[in-house]
A and B are shown apart, each in its own frame.
Chain A
């Protein structure tokens, strides 16, 4: 027997949760054309969007926001900011997997403590029609099994606590947890790392360097792009040198940008072609070797939002097709 919740009780569950914590989730802007879905603070269940496909920014914005304060300084002291607890409600499985992989990246081989502190304060509830997979770090998984019913899989003490709620009843048996069967997906091609690694001289990189606008959107919208820059900002009020007041900020960056690898006297990656190759190399060579996973969950955000219409699936397909010809 397993736990389940009726669709009409979801709204009550949501109301209970939002009474105790700020709840964020996918919401729809019906007027927008290209960016209809986004994550926002949900004031009522009415604003929650089921089946959102993909939002403009992935949920990484909550763990690694576009800009955050690492710590404040002043009076010769350092004070890290306080974090608040929030609930991410109703992510789909794909975004859940993105979080799982990002968690792995930010804890191995060295822990990114700032990320971890934020992460510990965020509880995740996933709602999807697919069964839960093995690559999830969520608190509660709700699987839609028919028009009105959701099976509930608690994965943490917090999730168990929610599932104790009277809204959850017991239902008949459920199927087994499925793992990913993605043999046909291009990012799971068995030799992909070798193929991309050996493709440095493939003409496609020149072609991409002719098309790409170098805007870095593919990095900003990617759930598994996590590169950042760290900058100090001095407050306007007090600035005695050696004891100025201000903060150290961390903000998003993109390896596509021209000055990404530039030090004072040298730019180590001045060519756009190299930067594009590096983007693919990181996702499909370095990351699989470092973490055992591709740096891509195939969510398609970078395809949807690329102004130059670059499609990484097509790029990878072409590289795979030409495997034997390039070295």
Chain B
């Protein structure tokens, strides 16, 4: 796994565009203020940044755009804490500071020719958008793509326009915990969709969402005959550095910031604190 290096000093960027995704989630498109820094910046789908509005703290946010959009970067921000709330108040042209990219990334060699099943709960779709968009650019790098998305209500569903577009090269399945009669997707949990969708035993499943989603999803995927090394989980933890130092993101013998955020189930199934 590649180790990225960085210092505590963030790079300055500017907000280029703001898109509302749901009442609580905004997408920010960022551009580098120093073109030379922007030219050198590279990342792969699955990697994350530490994003900050100086004075308000730092947040771990996965890059939601792809390589082809560089030197611009896109992130999705849910307004929850001090920093994310202040990021929501930013206007186009305002400065924003990042360090990174951090963490590991998706290995397309392992995904080549295979059926990929993405299972995303709530804001969990954001970290996987970069992966889906990379496949969109070149659908042949994987066998086929199925995207299972869950949200609390239809209003909370993010990337609606993208989801409509992605239907051209993938199968999209939606579910909501609560919905009115206008909703034509599934009503219930996103993991319910695993019973309805036809998934081969040789597929690779990629999960991202609230911790409660993992256990039932893994159970169902294993029933389908999918091997532990083909179930990928993106974990969330508190982080203060991104360098494997601060100890906040440890999960048993792993650091989510440098060994993850994406793990295969075989890597962590014996870990004593995965589902704490």
Contact = CB atoms under 8 A, between A and B. Distances in A.
B55 A239 contact: yes
A106 interface: yes
A110 B3 contact: yes
Nearest to A245: B55
Interface in A275-325: 277-278, 281-282, 285-286, 289
B258 interface: yes
B236 interface: yes
B273 to A, nearest CB: 7
A40 interface: no
Contact of A230 (B56, B58, B90, B252): B58
Given A80-B9, A230-B58, A242 B272 contact: no
A15 to B, nearest CB: 38
A268 B94 contact: no
Contacts of B253: 285-286, 289
B54 interface: yes
Given A226-B245, A242-B95, A282-B247, A110 B238 contact: no
B56 A232 contact: yes
B68 interface: no
A325 B193 CA distance: 44
A9 B18 CA distance: 69
B236 A78 contact: no
B250 interface: yes
Nearest to A233: B55
A246 B86 CA distance: 16
A250 B252 CA distance: 24
B55 A246 contact: yes
A243 B8 contact: no
A250 B241 CA distance: 10
Contacts of B54: 73, 78, 232, 244, 246, 248
Interface in A125-144: none
Contact of B12 (A76, A105, A264): A76
Contacts of A200: 272
A261 interface: yes
A263 B240 contact: no
Contacts of B90: 242
A28 interface: no
Count class of interface residues, chain B: 35 or more
**Which of B4, B54, B57 has the most chain A CB within a 10 Å cutoff?**
B54
Contacts of B10: 78
B244 interface: yes
Interface stretch (A30-38, A53-61, A111-119): A111-119
B20 interface: no
Interface in A205-263: 226-234, 239, 241-244, 246, 248, 250, 253, 255, 260-263
B42 interface: no
Contacts of B276: 268-270, 274
Count class of interface residues, chain A: 35 or more
A80 B251 CA distance: 32
Given A114-B8, A241-B86, A109 B244 contact: yes
Interface string B233-272: 0001110110111111011110000100000000000001
A102 to B, nearest CB: 11
Contact of A70 (B8, B56, B94, B245): B8
B250 A278 contact: yes
Contacts of B181: none
24 contacts: A71-B9, A73-B55, A106-B245, A109-B3, A110-B4, A110-B5, A110-B6, A110-B244, A111-B243, A226-B245, A226-B247, A227-B247, A228-B240, A231-B57, A232-B52, A232-B55, A234-B55, A242-B94, A255-B247, A260-B238, A264-B80, A278-B273, A282-B247, A282-B250
Interface of A: 70-71, 73, 76, 78, 80, 105-106, 109-114, 200, 226-234, 239, 241-244, 246, 248, 250, 253, 255, 260-266, 268-270, 274, 277-278, 281-282, 285-286, 289
Interface of B: 3-10, 12, 52-58, 80-81, 86, 89-90, 94-95, 97, 210-211, 236-238, 240-241, 243-248, 250-253, 258, 272-273, 276
User: 3 nearest interchain CB pairs?
Assistant: A227-B247, A244-B55, A110-B243
Given A200-B272, A239-B55, A244-B55, 6 more contacts: A109-B258, A227-B248, A229-B248, A265-B210, A277-B272, A285-B253
